[in-house]
Every structure is written in structure tokens, then in C-alpha cells.
């Protein structure tokens, strides 16, 4: 059996990778907005999963983009 899938990097680890940073910069990705959107998506997924499991607690995240609530496109 292969050991290649024993570790899954976090969003912060992926977004700190120099290659990922270079690609996002070239594509003009707003990293704060993208990070916020990814965490919000994770919260929504956890809420949906929790709704199907009685007694499950939803996840909470304080990862909002600077300057207000996370909204709008992650690009620009």
C-alpha cells in the first residue's frame, strides 16, 4: 500500500507555497478574499454535514477579508 496520501496540507500551507503565490500573483488573485471564501465554503459544508448528523456542532471561523465581510470576487 502506498503512503502518499497520509497528509493533507492546510489552506494556509498551500497558499504559502512559493509556486502557488507566484501563480496567484500572475492571475491577480486577492489572497485575503480567496482565503475568506474558502473558509466560508468550509463552514457551509460543515453546516450541511451537521444537518444530516443530529447533535453535530457547526464550525465557526473568523477569517474575513480585511475591510469588512467577505464578499465579491476573489479576483481583482
CA–CA gap between residue 12 and residue 17 (Å, rounded): 9
In this structure, is residue 66 part of a structural domain? no
Does the pTM surpass 0.75? The reply is no
In this structure, is residue 47 part of a structural domain? yes
In this structure, is residue 17 part of a structural domain? yes
Whole domain around residue 23: which residue ranges?
11-51
Number of domains the chain contains: 1
What is the arithmetic mean of pLDDT over 14-33?
A: 95
In this structure, is residue 40 part of a structural domain? yes
CA–CA gap between residue 58 and residue 76 (Å, rounded): 31
In this structure, is residue 62 part of a structural domain? no
Report pLDDT digits (tens) over 31-68: 999 999 998 998 999 888 876 665 555 555 454 444 44
Say what the pLDDT of residue 34 is: 94
Number of helices and strands in the chain (H, E): 3, 0
Q: How far is CA 52 from the centre of its chain?
A: 22
In this structure, is residue 74 part of a structural domain? no
Say what the pLDDT of residue 55 is: 58
In this structure, is residue 26 part of a structural domain? yes
Is there a contact between 15 and 21 (Cβ–Cβ < 8 Å)? yes
In this structure, is residue 39 part of a structural domain? yes
Amino acid at each position: 500500500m502506498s503512503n502518499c496520501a497520509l497528509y493533507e496540507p492546510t489552506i494556509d500551507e498551500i497558499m504559502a507555497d512559493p509556486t502557488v503565490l507566484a501563480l496567484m500573483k500572475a492571475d491577480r488573485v486577492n489572497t485575503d478574499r480567496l482565503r475568506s471564501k474558502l473558509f466560508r465554503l468550509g463552514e457551509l459544508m460543515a453546516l450541511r454535514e451537521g444537518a444530516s448528523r443530529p447533535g453535530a456542532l457547526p464550525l465557526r471561523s473568523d477569517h474575513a477579508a480585511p475591510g469588512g465581510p467577505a464578499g465579491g470576487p476573489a479576483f481583482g
